Protein backbone atom coordinates (compact mmCIF):
# COMPACT_ATOMS: atom_id res chain seq x y z
CA UNK A 1 0.00 0.00 0.00
CA UNK A 2 3.06 2.29 0.26
CA UNK A 3 3.62 4.46 -2.79
CA UNK A 4 7.00 5.14 -4.37
CA UNK A 5 5.88 8.78 -4.69
CA UNK A 6 5.96 9.22 -0.91
CA UNK A 7 9.43 10.06 0.36
CA UNK A 8 10.72 10.37 3.94
CA UNK A 9 10.55 14.18 3.78
CA UNK A 10 6.80 13.94 3.04
CA UNK A 11 6.25 11.77 6.11
CA UNK A 12 8.23 14.17 8.32
CA UNK A 13 5.58 16.82 7.66
CA UNK A 14 1.94 16.51 8.68
CA UNK A 15 -0.87 15.34 6.43
CA UNK A 16 -4.05 17.37 6.01
CA UNK A 17 -7.33 15.54 5.50
CA UNK A 18 -9.90 17.74 3.79
CA UNK A 19 -13.54 16.87 4.57
CA UNK A 20 -16.18 18.63 2.51
CA UNK A 21 -19.93 18.61 2.14
CA UNK A 22 -21.48 21.66 0.56
CA UNK A 23 -24.77 22.00 2.41
CA UNK A 24 -26.16 21.56 5.90
CA UNK A 25 -28.67 19.12 4.39
CA UNK A 26 -25.80 16.92 3.15
CA UNK A 27 -24.11 17.04 6.55
CA UNK A 28 -27.32 15.94 8.30
CA UNK A 29 -28.63 13.40 5.79
CA UNK A 30 -25.57 12.01 4.04
CA UNK A 31 -23.69 10.68 7.03
CA UNK A 32 -22.20 7.76 5.12
CA UNK A 33 -20.29 10.20 2.92
CA UNK A 34 -18.96 11.99 6.00
CA UNK A 35 -17.91 8.69 7.56
CA UNK A 36 -16.09 7.63 4.37
CA UNK A 37 -14.29 10.96 4.22
CA UNK A 38 -13.17 10.82 7.86
CA UNK A 39 -12.10 7.19 7.32
CA UNK A 40 -9.40 8.45 4.94
CA UNK A 41 -7.31 8.97 8.10
CA UNK A 42 -6.77 5.21 7.99
CA UNK A 43 -5.37 5.46 4.46
CA UNK A 44 -2.96 8.17 5.57
CA UNK A 45 -1.80 6.06 8.53
CA UNK A 46 -1.31 3.04 6.24
CA UNK A 47 0.82 5.22 3.95
CA UNK A 48 3.02 6.16 6.91
CA UNK A 49 1.72 9.42 8.41
CA UNK A 50 1.41 9.76 12.16
CA UNK A 51 0.63 13.51 12.25
CA UNK A 52 -2.76 13.98 10.60
CA UNK A 53 -4.88 17.11 10.86
CA UNK A 54 -8.52 17.08 9.76
CA UNK A 55 -9.81 20.26 8.14
CA UNK A 56 -13.59 20.51 8.33
CA UNK A 57 -13.99 24.08 9.65
CA UNK A 58 -16.71 25.26 7.31
CA UNK A 59 -18.41 21.93 6.68
CA UNK A 60 -21.85 22.51 5.17
CA UNK A 61 -21.08 25.85 3.53
CA UNK A 62 -22.00 26.16 -0.10
CA UNK A 63 -19.73 27.46 -2.84
CA UNK A 64 -22.69 29.55 -3.99
CA UNK A 65 -22.41 31.85 -0.98
CA UNK A 66 -20.22 34.92 -0.66
CA UNK A 67 -18.28 33.74 2.39
CA UNK A 68 -14.81 32.45 1.51
CA UNK A 69 -13.92 28.84 2.17
CA UNK A 70 -11.78 29.38 5.27
CA UNK A 71 -10.54 25.82 5.43
CA UNK A 72 -9.34 25.88 1.82
CA UNK A 73 -7.45 29.14 2.41
CA UNK A 74 -5.91 27.72 5.58
CA UNK A 75 -4.92 24.54 3.77
CA UNK A 76 -3.22 26.45 0.94
CA UNK A 77 -1.42 28.70 3.45
CA UNK A 78 -0.03 25.71 5.36
CA UNK A 79 1.06 24.05 2.11
CA UNK A 80 2.82 27.28 1.04
CA UNK A 81 4.70 27.40 4.35
CA UNK A 82 6.08 23.91 3.68
CA UNK A 83 4.41 22.41 6.76
CA UNK A 84 2.42 19.79 4.84
CA UNK A 85 3.69 16.56 3.30
CA UNK A 86 0.32 15.44 1.95
CA UNK A 87 -3.13 16.83 1.31
CA UNK A 88 -5.81 14.16 1.28
CA UNK A 89 -9.48 13.92 0.37
CA UNK A 90 -11.70 11.07 -0.66
CA UNK A 91 -11.80 12.63 -4.15
CA UNK A 92 -8.97 15.04 -4.96
CA UNK A 93 -11.11 17.05 -7.35
CA UNK A 94 -13.24 18.10 -4.35
CA UNK A 95 -10.41 20.12 -2.77
CA UNK A 96 -11.29 23.32 -4.62
CA UNK A 97 -14.57 24.92 -5.57
CA UNK A 98 -13.34 26.32 -8.87
CA UNK A 99 -10.52 25.84 -11.40
CA UNK A 100 -8.53 28.86 -10.28
CA UNK A 101 -8.31 27.58 -6.69
CA UNK A 102 -7.63 24.04 -7.90
CA UNK A 103 -4.76 25.14 -10.15
CA UNK A 104 -3.34 27.28 -7.33
CA UNK A 105 -3.34 24.28 -4.98
CA UNK A 106 -1.66 22.02 -7.57
CA UNK A 107 1.01 24.65 -8.26
CA UNK A 108 1.74 25.27 -4.58
CA UNK A 109 1.99 21.51 -3.95
CA UNK A 110 4.40 21.29 -6.90
CA UNK A 111 6.59 24.12 -5.62
CA UNK A 112 6.94 22.81 -2.04
CA UNK A 113 6.79 19.10 -3.00
CA UNK A 114 3.54 18.10 -1.29
CA UNK A 115 1.67 15.03 -2.56
CA UNK A 116 -2.10 14.89 -3.07
CA UNK A 117 -3.88 11.70 -2.03
CA UNK A 118 -7.35 10.31 -2.66
CA UNK A 119 -8.97 6.93 -2.09
CA UNK A 120 -7.29 5.47 -5.18
CA UNK A 121 -4.02 7.23 -5.91
CA UNK A 122 -1.08 9.25 -4.65
CA UNK A 123 -0.36 12.18 -6.97
CA UNK A 124 2.99 13.95 -7.13
CA UNK A 125 2.42 17.34 -8.82
CA UNK A 126 6.12 17.53 -9.71
CA UNK A 127 5.54 14.65 -12.14
CA UNK A 128 4.09 15.77 -15.48
CA UNK A 129 1.62 12.89 -15.84
CA UNK A 130 0.23 13.44 -12.34
CA UNK A 131 -0.10 17.19 -12.97
CA UNK A 132 -2.01 16.41 -16.17
CA UNK A 133 -4.33 13.96 -14.39
CA UNK A 134 -4.96 16.44 -11.56
CA UNK A 135 -5.78 19.18 -14.06
CA UNK A 136 -8.21 16.91 -15.89
CA UNK A 137 -9.90 15.84 -12.66
CA UNK A 138 -10.39 19.48 -11.68
CA UNK A 139 -11.76 20.41 -15.10
CA UNK A 140 -14.16 17.46 -15.08
CA UNK A 141 -15.35 18.36 -11.58
CA UNK A 142 -15.97 21.96 -12.63
CA UNK A 143 -17.78 20.83 -15.80
CA UNK A 144 -19.93 18.50 -13.72
CA UNK A 145 -20.77 21.34 -11.30
CA UNK A 146 -21.72 23.66 -14.17
CA UNK A 147 -23.82 20.93 -15.82
CA UNK A 148 -25.70 20.28 -12.57
CA UNK A 149 -26.33 24.00 -12.09
CA UNK A 150 -27.58 24.30 -15.68
CA UNK A 151 -29.93 21.37 -15.17
CA UNK A 152 -31.41 23.06 -12.10
CA UNK A 153 -32.14 26.22 -14.06
CA UNK A 154 -33.42 24.57 -17.24
CA UNK A 155 -36.57 23.17 -15.64
CA UNK A 156 -40.02 24.69 -16.08
CA UNK A 157 -40.06 28.48 -15.70
CA UNK A 158 -40.85 29.71 -12.23
CA UNK A 159 -43.37 32.40 -11.47
CA UNK A 160 -41.89 35.76 -12.38
CA UNK A 161 -39.75 34.51 -15.25
CA UNK A 162 -42.08 35.94 -17.93
CA UNK A 163 -41.92 39.33 -16.20
CA UNK A 164 -38.08 39.24 -16.25
CA UNK A 165 -38.14 38.22 -19.91
CA UNK A 166 -40.39 41.19 -20.76
CA UNK A 167 -38.07 43.56 -18.91
CA UNK A 168 -34.98 42.32 -20.69
CA UNK A 169 -36.27 42.14 -24.25
CA UNK A 170 -34.72 40.04 -27.04
CA UNK A 171 -31.36 38.40 -26.34
CA UNK A 172 -31.54 39.04 -22.60
CA UNK A 173 -30.41 42.68 -22.79
CA UNK A 174 -32.36 45.59 -21.39
CA UNK A 175 -33.88 47.93 -23.93
CA UNK A 176 -33.97 51.72 -23.92
CA UNK A 177 -30.91 52.68 -21.89
Nearest CA-CA partner of 95 in 37, 42, 147: 37
Task: Compute the distance between CA of residue 25 and CA of residue 152 in angstroms, rounded to an integer.
Answer: 17
Which residues are within 8 A (CB) of 15 and not within 5 positions of it... i.e. 6 or more apart? Answer: 44, 49, 51, 52, 53, 84, 85, 86, 87, 88, 117
DSSP classification of residue 173: P
Query: Is beta strand 115-117 parallel, antiparallel or unpaired with respect to 84-88?
Result: parallel
User: Per the residue annotation, which of 22, 33, 34, 62 is the catalytic one?
Assistant: 22
22 is catalytic: yes
Active-site residue numbers?
A: 22
Amino acid sequence: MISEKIRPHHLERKALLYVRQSSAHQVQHNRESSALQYAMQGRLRALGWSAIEVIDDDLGRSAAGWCPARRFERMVAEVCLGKVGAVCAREVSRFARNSRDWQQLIEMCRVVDTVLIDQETVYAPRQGNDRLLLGLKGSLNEYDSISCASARFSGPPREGAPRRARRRGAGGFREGR
